[in-house]
Amino acid sequence: MTNQEQINRRRTFAIISHPDAGKTTLTEKFLLYGGAIQSAGSVKGKASDRHAVSDWMEIEKKRGISITSSVMQFEYDGYCINILDTPGHQDFSEDTYRTLMAADSAVMVIDAAKGIEPQTRKLFKVCAMRDIPIFTFINKMDREARDPFDLLDELETEFGIATYPITWPIGCGLRFKGVYHREHKKIISYADAHRGRERLSSIDCDITDTDTLDRLIGEEERAELVEQVELLDGAGVDFDLEAVRHGKLSPVFFGSALNNFGIETFLECFLRMTTAPLPRKTDGDTVYPSDDRFSAFVFKIQANMNKAHRDRIAFMRICSGRVERGETYYHVQGGRELKLSQPQQMMAQERSVIDEAYAGDIIGVFDPGIFSIGDTVCDRSMRVQFEGIPTFAPEIFVEVEQIDSMKRKQFAKGMNQIAQEGAIRIFCEPGSGLERVYVGVVGELQLDVLESRMKNEYNVEYRKYPQPYQYIKRVPNGVNPADLKLYEVKWVQDFRDGNYLLFPTPWHINYTLEHNEGLTLEEYGSVEE
């Protein structure tokens, strides 16, 4: 198979949703249908239950929520699929935003009873900015749900995007009988006992076949279905694949991820409608997947994914060409050549060394501490730098103090490694070493994650003291903060010795600017929530 044929069969997509909409459950069922796992785990359940593959952190298993993005690759029906399962909770938005930068399309999961929720709205805007296909899976139809027309209207009104239901639900909750496939003109019947134990066989049935419909779903449900489908056909928009591929039209599917219903239909349609790997913009040009020269960017760094290794992995999205094991490439930001001796294929926390990977794939690379989020690795003849990765400014700050001074080395290692991952910000008071450590986060739950990880991964416990600061600004290079006139402002440095000021209120920011003539302060991040 040629490089181009390999690239054409790649599909790389992120799954996004508000917490509890069923995103991780849907991911598990995709893996089940692809043969990547033998049985699907539960997101929430008893201690003896098997947990979801993508939720591998101890705190994820205990809380029943996704905290970090996971990457899973598997084969299905001739396609090589890279799934990016993202956290739904708003406290981990930054991880999700970065992961979306590595995706070519997005699957938006919506709870049929709740409709669009705040986090779904934020994530959709990121997808829309990137002009990528957005597919909608309306989940939990086996429970009581809102009227499907209301859900579609909300999608179109909130997001300004047209919708086209590929499947249409027949009832909901206890009255849920299945879905009607509008494109294939088939009924796919729902049975609570199914739960994915065998492939569901659809039944050919035109919407005008009254006798067959009455036998399959009942006379009352048939009359309602016929009326609804006629309304969709008469008043709805026409299906336009080009509009789908530019994020202007969202194909909609209905089902139940927990009961494996509608998943296979969705997956088959999605793979056919979505795109192969897309071109990527650089600082001055566009890189196309078909370019034979290898290029990739780092969108995530994660330490201690495997307790047996205790190493750090940089996640790279391949943008063009092919990476080969043992070849030497160029690290643009580091200004040095490096040998990728063990590129790895990911299945959540599990990984295996591979000989090659292609544009569209996500690979893991051992990071000895040289990579940062957004770095480019490429063929020595390219020297490209891809668009920046979103960065959020922390809004919550605490001071942390280790309890056992004998574990100073473990404390330093943990704080440094977690700081390099880029989601939780670690700062020190200048000249204090690790005696005065400050942690900055976007959401409170990140503090729980840090505490859990330091205890489980580094065997370190600490006390934390809330701080009054809510704003952070970067001090430009060449300005010594020690020379500034500051009032109730904290001067801190990150692990790269960058200088920052922490402010309690906007008044303190204005005071600093007014009393230090000519001073300009830089924004910490590129994304403000």
Local structure of 323: helix, strand or coil: strand
For the ranges 59-68, 195-204, 286-295, 332-341, which has the lowest average pLDDT? 59-68
Q: Are 276 and 10 in contact (CB under 8 A)?
A: yes
How many Å apart are CA 304 and CA 317, to the nearest integer? 20
Q: Are 277 and 289 in contact (CB under 8 A)?
A: yes
Higher-scoring residue by pLDDT: 13, 128: 13
Residue 44 predicted with pLDDT over 50: no
468 shares its domain with 515: yes
Residue 357 predicted with pLDDT over 90: yes
- Output the pLDDT for position 164: 96
- Output the pLDDT for position 318: 96
- Residue 243's domain is classified under what CATH number? 3.40.50.300
60 shares its domain with 153: yes
328 shares its domain with 369: yes
**Confidence class of residue 40 from pLDDT cuts 50, 70 and 90?**
very low
pLDDT for 359-375, tens place per residue?
999 999 988 888 888 89
Average pLDDT taken over every residue of the chain: 83
401 shares its domain with 364: no
The amino acid occupying position 295 is S
Domain end: 239, 273, 307, which one?
A: 273
- Output the pLDDT for position 45: 39
| Residue 256: its H or E element | none
Distance of CA 350 to the CA centre of its chain: 18
Residue 355 predicted with pLDDT over 80: yes
475 shares its domain with 421: yes
Both tokens assigned to 335: 């200004």
390 in a domain, yes or no? Answer: no
How many Å apart are CA 105 and CA 108, to the nearest integer? 10
- Output the pLDDT for position 420: 78
The stretch 343-361 carries a mean pLDDT of: 84
72 in a domain, yes or no? Answer: no
Boundaries of domain holding 491: 396-523
Give 322's contacts (C-beta < 8 A, 6+ positions apart): 3, 6, 292, 294, 356, 357, 358, 359
**Confidence class of residue 201 from pLDDT cuts 50, 70 and 90?**
low
How many Å apart are CA 467 and CA 396, to the nearest integer? 8
Give 248's contacts (C-beta < 8 A, 6+ positions apart): 161, 162, 240
Distance of CA 243 to the CA centre of its chain: 23
The amino acid occupying position 259 is N
| Residue 253 main-chain phi, psi, to 5 deg | -130, 150
333 shares its domain with 219: no
How many Å apart are CA 61 and CA 42, to the nearest integer? 9
181 shares its domain with 288: no
Both tokens assigned to 141: 């139809």
CA dist 434 → 269, 398, 423, 440 (Å): 54, 14, 19, 15
Residue 194 predicted with pLDDT over 70: no
45 in a domain, yes or no? Answer: yes
- Residue 296's domain is classified under what CATH number? 2.40.30.10
How many Å apart are CA 235 and CA 416, to the nearest integer? 58
320 shares its domain with 184: no
- Output the pLDDT for position 37: 56
Residue 155 predicted with pLDDT over 80: yes
How many Å apart are CA 301 and CA 421, to the nearest integer? 5
Specify the pTM: 0.79
- Taking each helix axis from N to C terminus, what angle separates 93-100 and 118-129, rounded to the nearest 10 degrees? 30
Both tokens assigned to 354: 């591979």
b/e string for 30-43 if b means 16 or more Cβ within 10 A? bbbbbebbeebbbb
- Output the pLDDT for position 68: 52
285 shares its domain with 346: yes
The stretch 480-507 carries a mean pLDDT of: 93
- Output the pLDDT for position 36: 58
- Output the pLDDT for position 70: 72
The total number of structural domains in the chain stands at 3
Residue 202 predicted with pLDDT over 60: no
Domain end: 215, 240, 273, which one?
A: 273
Higher-scoring residue by pLDDT: 222, 527: 222
391 in a domain, yes or no? Answer: no
The stretch 441-445 carries a mean pLDDT of: 81
How many Å apart are CA 30 and CA 253, to the nearest integer? 15
245 in a domain, yes or no? Answer: yes
For the ranges 259-268, 304-313, 359-368, 397-406, which has the lowest average pLDDT? 304-313
60 shares its domain with 208: yes
Higher-scoring residue by pLDDT: 285, 34: 285
451 in a domain, yes or no? Answer: yes
Percent pLDDT > 70 in the chain is: 85
Maximum average pLDDT range among 19-23, 434-438, 482-486: 482-486
128 in a domain, yes or no? Answer: yes
Both tokens assigned to 369: 């501490």
383 in a domain, yes or no? Answer: no
Supply the Cα-derived Rg of the chain in whole angstroms. Answer: 25
| Residue 315 main-chain phi, psi, to 5 deg | -90, 130
pLDDT for 87-111, tens place per residue?
644 545 667 777 888 899 999 999 9
343 shares its domain with 492: no
Domain end: 253, 273, 293, which one?
A: 273
Higher-scoring residue by pLDDT: 474, 55: 474
188 shares its domain with 220: yes
Q: Are 346 and 31 in contact (CB under 8 A)?
A: no
- Taking each helix axis from N to C terminus, what angle separates 210-217 and 219-235, rounded to the nearest 10 degrees? 120
How many Å apart are CA 366 and CA 446, to the nearest integer? 25
Among residues 269, 241, 238, 229, the alpha carbon closest in space to that of 253 is found at 269
- Output the pLDDT for position 64: 45
For the ranges 31-40, 159-168, 297-306, 368-377, which has the lowest average pLDDT? 31-40
Give 528's contacts (C-beta < 8 A, 6+ positions apart): 392, 393
